[in-house]
Structure 1
Amino acid sequence: MSSPAAPLEVPIRDESIRLGQLLKLAGVVDDGAMARSVIELGEVTVDGAVETRRGAQVRPGQVVTYGGQSLTVVSDT
Structure 2
Amino acid sequence: MQTVDFELERDHVELNQLLKLAGLCDSGGAGKALVASGAVRVDGAVELRKTAKIRAGQRVVLGATEIHVVAADPART
TM-score (normalizing by structure 2): 0.89
TM-score (normalizing by structure 1): 0.89
Report the Cα distance in structure 1 between the residues aligned to 2:64 and 2:20, rounded to whole angstroms. Answer: 16
User: Quick check: 1:60 aligned with 2:46?
Assistant: no
Q: Return structure 1 stretches of 4+ with deviation > 6 angstroms.
A: none
Is the CA contact 2:59–2:69 (under 8 Å) kept in the aligned structure 1?
yes
Count of residues in correspondence between the two structures: 73
Letter of the structure 2 residue corresponding to residue 41 of structure 1: S
Could you tell me how far 1:34 is from its partner in structure 2? 1.0
RMSD: 0.9
Q: Which runs of 5+ in 2 are unaligned?
A: none
> Which structure 2 residues correspond to residues 1-77 of structure 1 after superposition, within 5 A?
4-5=1-2, 7-76=3-72, 77=74
1:23 is paired with a residue whose SS is helix
